[in-house]
Amino acid sequence: MRRAFGAIDDRLLRRLYADENRTAQRIAMQVGCSPTTILRRLRLFGISPRHRGPAPRRNTPLAWSAEAAYAVGLVATDGNLSSDGRHMSFISKDRDLVETFRRCLELTTLVRMLRTRTGSGLYRVQWCDRRLYDWFLSLGLMPAKSLRLGRLAVPDDRFADFFRGCIDGDGSVRVYKDRYHCTKKDRYVYERLYVSLVSASLAFVDWVRTTVTRLVHVAGAIHEDKRAGQRPIWTLRYAKAESIRLLRWMYYAPDVPSLERKRVTAEKFLRPLGCASVRSVGRPRIGWLYSCPGPHSQAGDDRVVPACHSVGVFCPWGSGGTRDTRGAQNAMPVRA
C-alpha cells in the first residue's frame, strides 16, 4: 500500500535527495509513491532538481585559479556552450592553445582536427560536463553568446589571467615598423606596438575596457568596423606606452598559461633596456626598468643598478631566478 502524499516532508526529502544523492526513482520506491510525485515535492520545497543522466565522473575545478580564469577568457572568446545544457567545445587554429586549454580544465577528451572549406586545419576539443557548464552559466556565459555577451563575474585578482585568455582567443599582440614619415627623414622609423581585442558584442568590450581602466589605469579605445550587409565588429585597442603597461600586467610571471607565439612577441617589450639612476625625460622608449640590488651595492647607495627583474629574465644575483613582477608597480620607462 502506498504511503500518503503528506508523509513526504521537507527534511526527509532533502536528506535523501540532496545529502545522500539518491535519485527520484529510488526515493519514490522507498516512500511508496511515483517519481512524478517526488519531482513535484522538490519544486514545492524549493529544491533544485538535478539534470537527467549520469552524474559527473570527476570533480570539476570550480575554484578560481590562474588556469581557471585563463580558460574562462578562452571560452568567452573562442568557446561554445551547446544549447543541450551539458556539452561544450573550444576551437582554435593553434593546437598548442587547445592543449593548454585542456590542461587548465584537466580535460581527458582528445583533440580533433577539422578541415575547413579552404583546406586549412582547425583543432577542436569537445566534452560533456554539467557541473562545469552550470558554472560557466553562473559567470554570465551562455549559448549563442557572440552578440549577447556582456559583463562576467570574474574577480579582480584573476582578471589579468582572464584578459590574457581573451587576447589569446580573439585578440592580438601586433608589432610593426612605421615608415610613414621616412620621406621627411630616413631615421623617422618607429616600432609600433598594439594590443587588441575583437568582439561582436559592444557590451562585452566596453565592460573589459572599463575593468582594465580601473585595475591598470590605461584608457584604450574602442573602434567600430562596419561593413555593408554585415554586423559591426568592435575592437578594443591599446597603443604605445599603454600596451607596454598592459603586457607587464598580463604576463606577471613566466609560468602563467599563455599562447606561445603571442608571448614571444610580447617578451621583447618585457625585457629591461639597461640601467638608469634617475627617471628619463621625453618620450619613453618601449621597455621597462626594474631595479634590484647589485652584487657590489651598499645600503643607501644611489648608484646605477642593473635592471634584471623583468618577466622571464634571469637575475644572476639576488633571488637567483625569475620573479613575479605583478607587485613591481614602481617600474619606470627608460630611453636608450
Q: Please, are residues 51 and 132 in contact by the beta-carbon 8 Å criterion?
A: no
Mean pLDDT value of segment 60-71: 84
Sign of CA dihedral 155, 158, 159, 161: negative
Mean pLDDT value of segment 249-263: 92
User: Would you give the DSSP letter of residue 332?
Assistant: B
Q: Residues 91-142: pLDDT tens digits?
A: 999 999 999 999 999 898 889 998 888 878 899 999 998 889 999 999 999 9
Q: Please, are residues 2 and 32 in contact by the beta-carbon 8 Å criterion?
A: yes
Sign of CA dihedral 242, 246, 252, 254: negative
Q: Please, are residues 94 and 123 in contact by the beta-carbon 8 Å criterion?
A: yes
Specify the pLDDT at position 18.
76
Per-residue pLDDT for 208 more than 60?
Answer: yes
Q: What is the Cα–Cα distance from 321 to 319, expressed in whole angstroms?
A: 6
Task: Give the chain's length.
Answer: 336
Q: pTM here? A: 0.66
Q: Please, are residues 239 and 194 in contact by the beta-carbon 8 Å criterion?
A: yes
More confident residue, 15 or 68: 68
Q: What is the Cα–Cα distance from 151 to 137, expressed in whole angstroms?
A: 12
Per-residue pLDDT for 203 more than 90?
Answer: yes
